[in-house]
Structure 1
Amino acid sequence: MARGAAVVVAAAAVLSGCSDGGASGTASQAASAATEAASAAASAASEAGAALASASAEAGRKLDQIKGGAHAKADVKLGAVADESGGRKAAPVTVTNPTSESHTYAVQVNFKDTKGNLLDTVVVTVSDVPGGGSKNATALSNRGLSGDAVTSVARAVRY
Protein backbone atom coordinates (compact mmCIF):
# COMPACT_ATOMS: atom_id res chain seq x y z
CA MET A 1 0.00 0.00 0.00
CA ALA A 2 2.93 2.35 0.59
CA ARG A 3 3.86 2.10 -3.08
CA GLY A 4 0.24 2.97 -3.98
CA ALA A 5 0.39 6.00 -1.69
CA ALA A 6 3.59 7.17 -3.38
CA VAL A 7 1.96 6.88 -6.80
CA VAL A 8 -1.07 8.87 -5.63
CA VAL A 9 1.17 11.56 -4.12
CA ALA A 10 3.29 11.77 -7.26
CA ALA A 11 0.21 11.95 -9.50
CA ALA A 12 -1.32 14.68 -7.33
CA ALA A 13 1.90 16.70 -7.49
CA VAL A 14 2.11 16.36 -11.29
CA LEU A 15 -1.55 17.23 -11.81
CA SER A 16 -1.33 20.21 -9.48
CA GLY A 17 1.68 21.48 -11.41
CA CYS A 18 -0.51 21.85 -14.50
CA SER A 19 -2.63 24.71 -13.10
CA ASP A 20 -2.32 28.36 -14.19
CA GLY A 21 -1.81 29.67 -10.63
CA GLY A 22 1.75 30.99 -11.06
CA ALA A 23 4.94 29.55 -9.55
CA SER A 24 4.23 30.19 -5.87
CA GLY A 25 0.55 29.22 -6.16
CA THR A 26 1.46 26.04 -8.01
CA ALA A 27 3.97 24.97 -5.36
CA SER A 28 1.54 25.48 -2.49
CA GLN A 29 -1.31 23.82 -4.41
CA ALA A 30 0.96 20.86 -5.19
CA ALA A 31 1.98 20.55 -1.55
CA SER A 32 -1.65 20.76 -0.43
CA ALA A 33 -2.78 18.19 -3.01
CA ALA A 34 0.10 15.89 -2.10
CA THR A 35 -0.79 16.11 1.60
CA GLU A 36 -4.45 15.36 0.88
CA ALA A 37 -3.52 12.46 -1.41
CA ALA A 38 -1.10 11.02 1.15
CA SER A 39 -3.77 11.28 3.84
CA ALA A 40 -6.35 9.54 1.64
CA ALA A 41 -3.88 6.79 0.71
CA ALA A 42 -2.90 6.26 4.34
CA SER A 43 -6.56 6.06 5.32
CA ALA A 44 -7.25 3.50 2.57
CA ALA A 45 -4.19 1.48 3.59
CA SER A 46 -5.31 1.56 7.21
CA GLU A 47 -8.82 0.38 6.29
CA ALA A 48 -7.44 -2.42 4.09
CA GLY A 49 -5.04 -3.49 6.85
CA ALA A 50 -7.87 -3.51 9.39
CA ALA A 51 -10.09 -5.56 7.07
CA LEU A 52 -7.30 -8.09 6.50
CA ALA A 53 -6.55 -8.35 10.22
CA SER A 54 -10.26 -8.87 10.91
CA ALA A 55 -10.58 -11.56 8.23
CA SER A 56 -7.46 -13.35 9.52
CA ALA A 57 -8.69 -13.26 13.11
CA GLU A 58 -12.14 -14.53 12.13
CA ALA A 59 -10.64 -17.38 10.09
CA GLY A 60 -8.47 -18.38 13.04
CA ARG A 61 -11.46 -18.30 15.41
CA LYS A 62 -13.57 -20.48 13.13
CA LEU A 63 -10.88 -23.13 12.82
CA ASP A 64 -9.92 -22.99 16.50
CA GLN A 65 -13.54 -23.74 17.50
CA ILE A 66 -13.38 -27.15 15.84
CA LYS A 67 -12.67 -29.79 18.47
CA GLY A 68 -11.36 -33.25 17.66
CA GLY A 69 -10.56 -32.46 14.03
CA ALA A 70 -7.64 -33.80 12.01
CA HIS A 71 -5.19 -31.72 9.99
CA ALA A 72 -6.16 -32.27 6.37
CA LYS A 73 -4.26 -29.89 4.07
CA ALA A 74 -3.22 -32.84 1.91
CA ASP A 75 -6.91 -33.57 1.20
CA VAL A 76 -7.46 -30.15 -0.46
CA LYS A 77 -6.62 -28.90 -3.96
CA LEU A 78 -7.22 -25.38 -5.26
CA GLY A 79 -7.94 -24.39 -8.84
CA ALA A 80 -7.11 -21.28 -10.84
CA VAL A 81 -8.29 -17.92 -9.48
CA ALA A 82 -11.02 -16.17 -11.49
CA ASP A 83 -12.37 -12.63 -11.36
CA GLU A 84 -15.90 -12.18 -10.01
CA SER A 85 -18.21 -9.17 -9.91
CA GLY A 86 -17.09 -6.27 -7.75
CA GLY A 87 -13.42 -7.20 -8.14
CA ARG A 88 -13.75 -10.20 -5.85
CA LYS A 89 -11.65 -13.28 -6.61
CA ALA A 90 -12.91 -16.87 -6.65
CA ALA A 91 -10.99 -20.13 -6.51
CA PRO A 92 -12.38 -23.65 -6.89
CA VAL A 93 -11.77 -25.91 -3.89
CA THR A 94 -11.78 -29.70 -4.24
CA VAL A 95 -11.75 -31.84 -1.12
CA THR A 96 -10.99 -35.56 -1.36
CA ASN A 97 -11.81 -37.58 1.75
CA PRO A 98 -9.38 -40.51 2.13
CA THR A 99 -11.26 -42.04 5.07
CA SER A 100 -14.10 -44.56 4.93
CA GLU A 101 -16.58 -42.25 6.71
CA SER A 102 -18.25 -39.00 5.64
CA HIS A 103 -16.65 -35.84 7.07
CA THR A 104 -16.98 -32.07 6.98
CA TYR A 105 -13.97 -29.91 6.15
CA ALA A 106 -13.10 -26.36 7.12
CA VAL A 107 -10.51 -24.93 4.73
CA GLN A 108 -8.70 -21.61 5.21
CA VAL A 109 -7.76 -20.21 1.80
CA ASN A 110 -5.28 -17.34 1.55
CA PHE A 111 -5.36 -14.92 -1.39
CA LYS A 112 -1.92 -13.40 -2.06
CA ASP A 113 -0.52 -11.07 -4.68
CA THR A 114 2.17 -12.34 -7.03
CA LYS A 115 4.86 -11.11 -4.62
CA GLY A 116 3.47 -13.25 -1.78
CA ASN A 117 1.78 -10.46 0.21
CA LEU A 118 -1.42 -11.59 1.93
CA LEU A 119 -4.46 -9.81 0.46
CA ASP A 120 -7.35 -11.72 2.04
CA THR A 121 -8.23 -14.97 3.77
CA VAL A 122 -11.49 -16.92 3.92
CA VAL A 123 -12.76 -20.13 5.49
CA VAL A 124 -14.77 -22.46 3.26
CA THR A 125 -16.86 -25.20 4.85
CA VAL A 126 -17.36 -28.30 2.72
CA SER A 127 -20.01 -30.46 4.37
CA ASP A 128 -20.62 -34.18 4.11
CA VAL A 129 -17.71 -35.21 1.91
CA PRO A 130 -18.35 -38.95 1.44
CA GLY A 131 -15.75 -41.48 2.51
CA GLY A 132 -13.46 -42.21 -0.43
CA GLY A 133 -15.14 -39.42 -2.41
CA SER A 134 -14.67 -35.79 -3.37
CA LYS A 135 -16.72 -32.63 -3.17
CA ASN A 136 -16.27 -29.15 -4.69
CA ALA A 137 -16.77 -25.67 -3.28
CA THR A 138 -15.66 -22.12 -4.07
CA ALA A 139 -13.46 -19.79 -2.03
CA LEU A 140 -14.63 -16.20 -2.61
CA SER A 141 -12.61 -13.24 -1.36
CA ASN A 142 -14.33 -11.04 1.22
CA ARG A 143 -13.75 -7.89 -0.83
CA GLY A 144 -12.52 -6.70 -4.19
CA LEU A 145 -8.84 -7.41 -4.85
CA SER A 146 -6.90 -5.61 -7.56
CA GLY A 147 -4.34 -7.28 -9.76
CA ASP A 148 -3.49 -10.93 -10.04
CA ALA A 149 -3.97 -13.20 -7.04
CA VAL A 150 -2.77 -16.68 -6.18
CA THR A 151 -4.24 -18.94 -3.52
CA SER A 152 -2.89 -21.36 -0.98
CA VAL A 153 -4.36 -23.59 1.70
CA ALA A 154 -3.32 -22.08 5.03
CA ARG A 155 -5.12 -24.68 7.18
CA ALA A 156 -7.61 -27.47 6.65
CA VAL A 157 -9.43 -29.45 9.30
CA ARG A 158 -11.45 -32.65 8.77
CA TYR A 159 -14.10 -33.36 11.42
Structure 2
Amino acid sequence: MTRVRRRSPSVVAVIAALTLGATACSDDTTPSDVASKVASAVASVGTDLSAAAAEAKKKLDSVKDGADAKSDVRLGTPSKDADGHITVPVTVSNQAADKKSFAVQVNFRDTGGNLLDTVVVTISDVAPGAAGQGAARSTRGLSGNVKADTGTALRY
Protein backbone atom coordinates (compact mmCIF):
# COMPACT_ATOMS: atom_id res chain seq x y z
CA MET A 1 0.00 0.00 0.00
CA THR A 2 1.33 3.41 -0.94
CA ARG A 3 0.93 6.06 1.71
CA VAL A 4 0.38 9.66 0.60
CA ARG A 5 1.62 12.27 3.01
CA ARG A 6 0.12 15.76 2.89
CA ARG A 7 2.46 18.61 3.64
CA SER A 8 1.25 21.75 5.36
CA PRO A 9 1.32 24.98 3.31
CA SER A 10 4.24 26.26 5.40
CA VAL A 11 6.32 23.17 4.59
CA VAL A 12 5.49 23.55 0.91
CA ALA A 13 6.47 27.24 1.09
CA VAL A 14 9.81 26.36 2.68
CA ILE A 15 10.57 23.74 0.03
CA ALA A 16 9.60 26.15 -2.76
CA ALA A 17 11.66 28.98 -1.26
CA LEU A 18 14.69 26.75 -0.80
CA THR A 19 14.39 25.50 -4.37
CA LEU A 20 14.04 29.04 -5.73
CA GLY A 21 16.90 30.22 -3.56
CA ALA A 22 19.16 27.48 -4.80
CA THR A 23 18.44 28.24 -8.44
CA ALA A 24 17.88 32.00 -8.55
CA CYS A 25 20.28 33.75 -6.21
CA SER A 26 21.48 37.27 -6.83
CA ASP A 27 25.21 37.99 -6.92
CA ASP A 28 25.41 38.75 -3.20
CA THR A 29 22.99 36.07 -1.93
CA THR A 30 23.93 32.42 -1.67
CA PRO A 31 21.50 29.49 -1.44
CA SER A 32 22.65 29.07 2.13
CA ASP A 33 21.67 32.70 2.92
CA VAL A 34 18.21 32.15 1.44
CA ALA A 35 17.76 28.88 3.33
CA SER A 36 18.76 30.54 6.58
CA LYS A 37 16.30 33.41 6.08
CA VAL A 38 13.45 31.05 5.17
CA ALA A 39 14.16 28.79 8.13
CA SER A 40 14.20 31.81 10.43
CA ALA A 41 10.86 33.05 9.06
CA VAL A 42 9.24 29.62 9.44
CA ALA A 43 10.61 29.26 12.98
CA SER A 44 9.12 32.67 13.80
CA VAL A 45 5.67 31.58 12.60
CA GLY A 46 5.96 28.40 14.67
CA THR A 47 7.00 30.43 17.70
CA ASP A 48 4.09 32.84 17.20
CA LEU A 49 1.62 29.96 17.00
CA SER A 50 3.13 28.27 20.05
CA ALA A 51 2.93 31.54 21.99
CA ALA A 52 -0.69 32.08 20.93
CA ALA A 53 -1.63 28.52 21.92
CA ALA A 54 0.12 28.91 25.29
CA GLU A 55 -1.70 32.20 25.94
CA ALA A 56 -5.07 30.64 25.01
CA LYS A 57 -4.42 27.70 27.33
CA LYS A 58 -3.44 30.06 30.15
CA LYS A 59 -6.68 32.05 29.77
CA LEU A 60 -8.84 28.93 29.66
CA ASP A 61 -7.02 27.38 32.63
CA SER A 62 -7.75 30.51 34.69
CA VAL A 63 -11.51 29.91 34.42
CA LYS A 64 -12.79 28.33 37.63
CA ASP A 65 -15.84 26.05 37.60
CA GLY A 66 -16.46 26.53 33.89
CA ALA A 67 -19.08 24.43 32.11
CA ASP A 68 -18.83 23.34 28.48
CA ALA A 69 -20.67 25.94 26.40
CA LYS A 70 -19.53 25.07 22.88
CA SER A 71 -23.13 24.51 21.74
CA ASP A 72 -23.99 28.05 22.93
CA VAL A 73 -21.41 29.71 20.62
CA ARG A 74 -21.94 30.97 17.07
CA LEU A 75 -19.17 32.44 14.94
CA GLY A 76 -19.83 34.95 12.18
CA THR A 77 -17.98 35.36 8.90
CA PRO A 78 -14.25 36.10 9.22
CA SER A 79 -13.01 39.35 7.67
CA LYS A 80 -9.52 40.69 7.08
CA ASP A 81 -8.47 44.17 8.20
CA ALA A 82 -5.85 46.44 6.59
CA ASP A 83 -3.08 44.83 8.69
CA GLY A 84 -3.99 41.32 7.51
CA HIS A 85 -5.45 40.32 10.88
CA ILE A 86 -8.61 38.23 10.74
CA THR A 87 -11.58 39.23 12.89
CA VAL A 88 -14.62 37.05 13.46
CA PRO A 89 -17.80 38.02 15.37
CA VAL A 90 -18.59 35.76 18.34
CA THR A 91 -22.11 35.40 19.76
CA VAL A 92 -22.89 33.44 22.92
CA SER A 93 -26.32 32.47 24.28
CA ASN A 94 -26.76 32.26 28.03
CA GLN A 95 -29.10 29.34 28.72
CA ALA A 96 -28.47 29.51 32.49
CA ALA A 97 -30.85 30.97 35.07
CA ASP A 98 -28.37 33.64 36.17
CA LYS A 99 -25.83 36.03 34.68
CA LYS A 100 -22.79 34.25 33.17
CA SER A 101 -19.53 35.03 31.43
CA PHE A 102 -17.97 33.06 28.59
CA ALA A 103 -14.41 32.27 27.52
CA VAL A 104 -14.35 31.16 23.88
CA GLN A 105 -11.31 29.81 22.06
CA VAL A 106 -11.42 30.67 18.36
CA ASN A 107 -9.10 28.79 16.01
CA PHE A 108 -8.07 30.26 12.67
CA ARG A 109 -7.35 27.62 10.00
CA ASP A 110 -6.39 27.48 6.35
CA THR A 111 -8.56 25.61 3.85
CA GLY A 112 -6.57 22.44 4.52
CA GLY A 113 -7.52 22.56 8.20
CA ASN A 114 -4.03 23.55 9.40
CA LEU A 115 -4.04 25.71 12.52
CA LEU A 116 -2.73 29.22 11.78
CA ASP A 117 -3.59 31.04 15.02
CA THR A 118 -5.75 30.75 18.13
CA VAL A 119 -7.17 33.31 20.55
CA VAL A 120 -9.54 33.42 23.50
CA VAL A 121 -12.27 36.05 23.67
CA THR A 122 -14.11 36.76 26.91
CA ILE A 123 -17.73 37.91 26.87
CA SER A 124 -18.72 39.02 30.36
CA ASP A 125 -21.96 39.30 32.30
CA VAL A 126 -24.49 37.94 29.81
CA ALA A 127 -28.01 38.12 31.27
CA PRO A 128 -30.08 34.92 31.59
CA GLY A 129 -31.75 34.01 28.31
CA ALA A 130 -29.83 36.74 26.48
CA ALA A 131 -27.07 36.79 23.86
CA GLY A 132 -23.68 38.41 24.28
CA GLN A 133 -21.44 39.71 21.53
CA GLY A 134 -17.69 39.83 21.11
CA ALA A 135 -15.03 39.60 18.44
CA ALA A 136 -11.96 37.41 18.10
CA ARG A 137 -8.96 38.93 16.27
CA SER A 138 -5.96 36.92 15.14
CA THR A 139 -2.72 37.77 16.91
CA ARG A 140 -0.92 38.36 13.61
CA GLY A 141 -1.62 38.93 9.95
CA LEU A 142 -2.79 35.80 8.11
CA SER A 143 -2.86 35.20 4.38
CA GLY A 144 -5.04 33.11 2.14
CA ASN A 145 -8.57 31.92 2.74
CA VAL A 146 -8.90 31.69 6.53
CA LYS A 147 -11.74 29.92 8.32
CA ALA A 148 -12.62 30.13 12.00
CA ASP A 149 -13.92 27.43 14.32
CA THR A 150 -14.73 27.16 18.01
CA GLY A 151 -12.22 25.31 20.15
CA THR A 152 -13.00 25.19 23.85
CA ALA A 153 -15.90 27.31 25.14
CA LEU A 154 -16.58 27.73 28.84
CA ARG A 155 -19.52 29.33 30.67
CA TYR A 156 -18.77 30.50 34.19
User: How does the TM-score come out when normalised to structure 1?
Assistant: 0.86
Q: 1:99 aligns with which of 96, 101, 104?
A: 96
1:87 aligns with 2:84: yes
2:118 corresponding residue in structure 1: 121
- Give 1:11 deviation, angstroms: 2.9
Counterpart AA for 1:39: S
- Give 1:35 deviation, angstroms: 1.8
2:151 corresponding residue in structure 1: 154
Mean alpha-carbon deviation: is it higher for 96-105 or for 1-10? 1-10
Question: In structure 2, how many angstroms separate the alpha carbons of the residues matched to 1:129 and 1:34?
Answer: 56
Question: In structure 1, how many angstroms separate the alpha carbons of the residues matched to 2:141 and 2:79?
Answer: 12
1:8 aligns with 2:17: yes
Counterpart AA for 2:129: G
Partners of 1:113 and 1:150 within 8 A in 2 = yes
Question: In structure 1, how many angstroms separate the alpha carbons of the residues matched to 2:48 and 2:72?
Answer: 29
- Give 1:34 deviation, angstroms: 2.2
Question: In structure 1, how many angstroms separate the alpha carbons of the residues matched to 2:16 and 2:33?
Answer: 13
Counterpart AA for 1:90: T
1:38 aligns with 2:51: no
Identity of aligned residues (%): 43
1:137 aligns with 2:134: yes
SS of 1:87's partner is coil
SS of 2:33's partner is helix
5+ long unaligned stretches in structure 1: 20-28
Measured against aligned partners, the alpha-carbon deviations of 1:122-141 in whole angstroms (never above 9, x if no partner) come to: 00000111110101111100
Cα RMSD for the two superposed structures: 1.6
- Give 1:66 deviation, angstroms: 1.0
Higher helix share: 1
SS of 2:77's partner is coil
Partners of 1:73 and 1:156 within 8 A in 2 = yes
